[in-house]
Structures are given as C-alpha cells and as structure tokens.
Chain A
Amino acid sequence: MTDASKSCACAAPTSAPGGGFWKSGGWLLAALPAWIGLYVVLHPAGDWLAFRVLGLAPGSRLGEAVAFFAYDAPKVLMLLGAVVLGVSFVQTFISPERTRDLLAKRTGAWSNLLASLLGIATPFCSCSAVPLFIGFVRVGVPLGATFSFLVSAPMVNEVALFLLFGLFGWRIALLYTVTGVAVAFVAGWILGKLRMERHLEPWILEIPFEASKASDATLGFPARLDLALQATKDIVGKVWLYVLMGIAVGAFLHGYVPAELMARVMGKSAWWSVPLAVLIGVPLYSNAAGIIPIVQVLLAKGAALGTALAFMMAVTGLSLPETVILRKVLKPRLLAVFLGVVTAGIVLVGFLFNTLL
C-alpha cells in the first residue's frame, strides 16, 4: 500500500479494470438508444396496459389511476437510474473534503454563496451530518457557511435538479435551484451574523481531531465508471421502493381526488396553504426522488407552484431525524434558530412564487 492510496479518502478500487473507455464503457453507446426508445413508448404502453389488457374504462377513476401508475413508475425509475449514473460519475471528481478545503479559506457573504453552490454537487448523506459539521468547523469554515452547506446539500442536489428538469422542464428546475440556493445562502448568512458560536456543544471543539485528506488519486475512466455503477446500484436499490410509494400516492390523488379540492386547499387563493404545506413538510423525511412524484400530481391538480415547491424544499431540506442528529452538536437555542430561519426562508419563497407567477 503506497502513501498515495493511504491518503486516498474516497478510495477507489486500487486495481482498476483495464481496457480504457471502449472496453469498459462501450456498452453505454448501445444502452443509450435503447433507453431513449423505451422511454418514448412508455406513455402509450401504460394506456395500453390499463385500458386494453386490464379492460378499464378510459376516464374512470380506477382506469386513470392505474394508467398513471403504469406510465409514471417506469418513467421515474428510468430517469432516476440515468440521472444517478451520470451524477455519480461526476461526483467521483468531488469530495466533501475538497469542498471543506475550498471553504476554509473564505469569509463573509462569499463563503455563504460558495457553500450554497458547492452543496449542489457535493455528495452528502444526512447520516454523516455530525462528522461533516465537526470537520467543517474545526478546519475553520465559518459557522454560517457550514449552515449554508447543510441546507443546500440535501435540498438542492443534482438528482432533484435533473428529475425536475425531466418531468417539469427547465424553467421549474432552474427556479427550484436558484431559490433553493438563495434560501441556503440567506439562512446561513443570517446565522453567521448572529454570532452563535457559543451555542455549539463544547465537545465538538475539544475532542481530538484530525483533518481527513481529500483524495488526490487520479482515477482512470474505467475505475470511475465502476464506482458510478456501484453507487447507482446502491442508491436506486435503496430508494426505488419510496419512489414507487410516492407514485402510488400520486396515482391515487390523480384518479380519486378532484382537481377543484386541491385547487381550493393548495391553490393561490388560499394564502395559508404555504405555511401549512411547509409545516407539514418540515418533519417529514424523504429524498428528492421520493417527493417529486407527489409534487407532480399536486401541480397537475391545481396546487400553486410556490406552494408545491415550498413543500418539496421543506421535506428535503429539514427533517425530524436530521434535527435529532444535529442536536448532538448544536445547543437547543441554536438548533431552534436554525430551524426557524430555514423554515421562514422556505415560506417566503413559496409566497414569492405565488405572488409573482
């Protein structure tokens, strides 16, 4: 074992499969047209299954719900698979350590902006929020920038971005990304200005600490593809059930809940719908992939765009499990301020959209 591989934090397989691009990645060229072909025929195939094979009447509640599920489930799963593969590949170039080192040198509002932007692409799992938080703070990343990253990373990730793009088009994807980054930026900036360093649990500043090193290993294409395929298998294997449940809820709403009801409860005219949607969404825990099918149906049924996006931000950005985890490093007051500032930011975004659009 050489020194290079010892410091290689995101260790890649040390013996990469050889053969370069054509040998290890050539199958991608065949898989891509097949993927596109399948994607194109999904909609007619779903209708065919529901109305011809199962003999349900078009326009009936059950028929519409089944057709929606038969078409939407494979569509979202196919999008998810392709997106996660692409993203995982890109993420073999990025690590939390590198992000941390980039942020350690910054101060002021720039640090918040940079942290919010880096949060989009940096791989992040909320189960490692505590070691990550300590790692950031201990190498001198400003507290406000650390919060910006913590908000942006789960909320505005590339999986959400590409799924929104695939299902709703670039305008909504862009809108969600820009406002998500804005919420993370402003919330982190305010938290930084409040100078709440003394409300950190003291142990995180006292314990022995060693800064893990970013990987400098230059991996070949085959090794990166291998890592990406592995990550895709892991991620899709973990979330497919939640995605299907999300679509099943969506299909039920699609077939059984009248559009007027949704428009009345979540439409523009009901001003209280934004705070209500956010308050319902905050404790819930789901990743972007699980929540998007539900958002899709809410929108189709007449929910206002701002309300639906605010709901999605609340579900992905904050959650009860993450709050419990963060309590280990934040004293109650700082934790409450953190939750309050982020929640308020999301509500504002919802109102803003409902007013402007």
Chain B
Amino acid sequence: MNGSGGSRRGHGSDGRHGDSQGRAMPSGRAESEMGEPRHGGAGQDGRHALNDAPAPDPAAAPAPADAPDPAPAPADAPDPAPETRTPPGLPDVGLTAADASSVDLLLAVAVRVRAEVDSAGEARALAAFRAAREQGPRAARTRRRDDWRPNPRRRVQRSVRTTLAVLLSSLTLGGVAFAAIGSATRDDDAGPGRGERDGRTGTSRGAPAAPGPSGTQGAGSTTGDRPASARDTEAHCRAYEEKAEGRGRALDATAWRRLADAAGGTQKVAAYCAARLGDADDAGDREQGAGESAGKQDGTVRSTGPDAGRRPDGAGAAAGSATGKPDWAGEPTAQGTPDQTDRQGRTDQGDQADQGSRADQGGRAEQPKGADGSGRVDGADRTPDTK
C-alpha cells in the first residue's frame, strides 16, 4: 500500500509536491498550499519517510523550473497566494534571521503534510458529520470552551475582572480606613469637629471591616521598632483615653506600664495623657495644614491601637489611605466632621485613583514617608515635651 501510495504520488501530486518544495519555504505559507493533505492510512511508519525522501529528489530536480506559480491545488479548494518569508502572525515572537530557518522548516512540515490526499480521513469525517446530523438538531448549548468568538467577549471579561479587583482592593482599604480613623484623631481636648469624629471613630472601630486590617496591624506592631518613645507614649495615651472612655481595646500590660513610667505613676496617667494629647493635636493640625503628605503622616502619627506608635509603617499605609478615603469609604465620618475630614479628603482626592488601583504601592510608598515624616513631626514638635 505504501508502494501504491508512492506511485500515486508520482503522478500528479508528486509533481506538485516537488513544486512546492522547489519554491518551498520562503514563499509558501503552509496553509496556503491547500494541497491534498497527507494520506491517512494505517500503514504509516518510518518507512514512509523513505518513500518521501527519494521521491522528492528526482522530482525536485526537474521541478523547480516548472514551479514559478503557487502550488496548484485541487479544483475544489481555493488557490493560495504566495506569501512572504516570515509568517505574518509571528512578528511578536521576535525572530532573528537565523531562527527564520526553523520557521521555514515548520512551514515545510506543513507543506508536506498537505501534499497528499486524505480521502479516507475526509470520508470518515463526513460520515461522522452525517451521523451527527441524523441525530437531529438537539439543543446543543455552547459551553464556555466552545465560545471562540473574537475579542469583544474577552474584553468584557477582562474589564469585569479588573473592575472586581479594583473594587476589592478599595473595599479592603476602606476597611483599613475604618480601623485607622478611630485612633487617628483621638483627643478629649479637641474641638467639636474632632469630638464628633472621635465619637464616630469609636463606632467605626467596631466595623466588621476593621478587624482584619486592625488585626494585622496589631499583630505586626508587636515586633515594630521603638526608637521614638515620644510617639509611643502618645499612642499609649490615646489608647488609654479610649480605654477610659470605654470604647477602645484594653491597654495591654506592657503599654500600660510604659505609660505609667512616663507619667510618673499610675494615678498621674490621666493628667499626663491630657497634657500630651493637647500638644500633640495642635502639632498635628499644623502638619495637616502643611500638605497632603503631612496630612497622611499625621494620620500615621495618630495611628490606632496601643502598639501603633511602634508601627508607623503599617499604620501609615493604612491611615494614609484611610485619611484619604473617609469621604466615600466612611460616610458617617465625613458627614460629621466637615473641616478636618474634608480637608484631608480634598488633599487626598487627587490620590484616590492612585491609591485605589495601586494600593500596595501606595501603601509601601507611604511607609518611608510616614516613618520619616512621623519622625520629623515628632522630632520637631514633641521632643520638647518629652525631653
């Protein structure tokens, strides 16, 4: 059967075979040959290659002169057009000239594959088609993997995914904002605006979105640095205030002890904290007025939790983003505290989009700023108090 197949090829298709090889790879885009596909038979084995090799050689020698045109195809298949050397679809792969030889090789593969009549395979396929057609037009639903429509569907999917990702990240940051707002402006000497915000932050701290980020903050903060004792003490004071007002978490033992040491006695803690926070808030106001980054740093400075002072980084990221988002992430806060929150909101409005879409980068970018800024703020304004 191989022999007969070879001889059959020797008639017409072999000439075509030779033709296609004569011009071969450079000019012929594989599928454009449209020639007969390789004969599908059970007898395919390595010996088939031997039939291949000798046949094209004698055919190729006389053939090239006869092969100026693209390969003639069966009458019922469309005629191909000669194409350029590099397949049009592969420029994105960035081939060098040397690699084009491999492309040529593969095109040659495809070319030869087409060079034979695949009548048996085609008959089988047609029989399968008829059989499937007989089964009647059942309501075949298009599964996802059957949907190969061009781009619009995929674009929609991608945009949906992107939208979801942006939404999720902004919700996460909003939750962190809730967590951070609570301690961001804790002060019993504060003006009415602040007081309202305290009230709201107290409730917002209980927001379900807060526990996650707060938990991570708290967990991470225990291993934080403690160079700025002034910042620590102030944060401890805030936590103490919260505890005293019955809203915040209980001050843990270490922080409480430190606070007591700084104040000079457990009884003096209340008075000490009142004095400290009064100064701190004034300094914080000035910082906020200075600019958005300062505003974020202020948020950093007033970060939440008993251990927040040791964690300017994470809290800076959280509060920095948090103070930027009180408008639409924390509605109650925004309404009640027009001056402070709005100012922060406005200053940070410009960064909303950035923060939303680059939350991580923004957070990370905030960290060094927060740390440095807090250090600066503390050093400039609070050192005199603690020293």
A in complex with B: no
Could you list which residues of chain A lie within 8 angstroms of chain B, going by C-beta atoms?
Answer: none
Could you list which residues of chain B lie within 8 angstroms of chain A, going by C-beta atoms?
Answer: none
